[in-house]
Amino acid sequence: MPEFLNLQGYGSLLADGAKLTILVGLFSMVIAMLLGLFGAWGKLARSRPANFIAGAYTTIVRGVPELVLILLVYYGAPTLLQDIAATMGVELFIDINPLVAGTCTIGFIYGAFSTEVFRGAFMAVDKGQVEAARSVGMGRVLCFRRILLPQMWRFALPGLGNVWMVLIKATALISVIQLPELMRNADIAARSTRLPFTCYFLASLIYLAITIASLLGQQQMERWANKGVRKA
């Protein structure tokens, strides 16, 4: 094996990192979708406070870099809570787990992006469907569950695919809070083997493979979701 390809056994470290990256990505995506559904409801609801909260959420999160938000949550949240506790006379020591902090922050950020996706998807569902459901006597919640939710997915899938693609790449940022995901492990391998280019390039190829697999998966899901739609 040529010298520059000899990973000295650090290959398995990259594989472990890739597993954690996908895991963190999936968990964050679930959080992002739940927040996105709530956010879309907030934006479309006929309630001023809900409109305002959802609007502020998407405006702020989409205007601040992910890295700043991650650092804010990981370093800022514990000190903020400690300070608040101190003013109430309670001695508190909080240490956030990087896995939890990273996953929640990424989910929280991309929740803002999926809010916009879900909002568009709900609005794309034919108004007549909702009117018909209401006129046969379904309540708001029932109408949402039986009519809007199943039909909205078809419109949401392309946008959600984009969110996922950006999200999985953003998980690399969690490496700054020492979570041993792909990027962090590539960093460790690069320092130990003194082959930074090889290690980072290999990591980038793994990310590329995840992207390609996601693209193929997205195509399949869209085909499945559009089964019942006739195309010109």
Contacting positions for another protein (CB under 8 A): 4, 60, 62-69, 71-72, 75-77, 79-80, 169-173, 175-176, 183, 186-187, 190, 194-198, 200-201, 203-204, 207-208, 211-212
Q: Which residue number, 130 or 182, has a Cβ lying nearer to another protein?
A: 182
What's at 13, amino acid-wise? L
Please check whether residue 169 is in contact with residue 207, taking contact to mean a CB–CB distance below 8 angstroms: yes
Of 68 and 123, nearer to another protein (C-beta) is 68
Q: Cα(184)–Cα(167) distance, rounded to whole angstroms? A: 17
Which spans in the chain are helix H? 11-44, 48-63, 66-71, 77-87, 98-124, 127-135, 140-143, 149-170, 182-193, 196-225
**Cα–Cα distance measured from residue 207 to residue 187, given in angstroms and rounded to the nearest whole number:** 14
149-170 vs 196-225: helix crossing angle, rounded to 10? 170
Q: How many CB atoms lie within 10 A of CB 61?
A: 19
Nearer to another protein, 105 or 133 (CB): 105
Residue 184 CB, shortest distance to another protein, in Å, is: 10
Query: 61 or 160, CB closer to another protein?
Result: 61
Report in angstroms how near the CB of residue 75 gets to another protein at its nearest. Answer: 4
The residue among 62 and 140 lying less far from another protein, judged by its C-beta, is 62
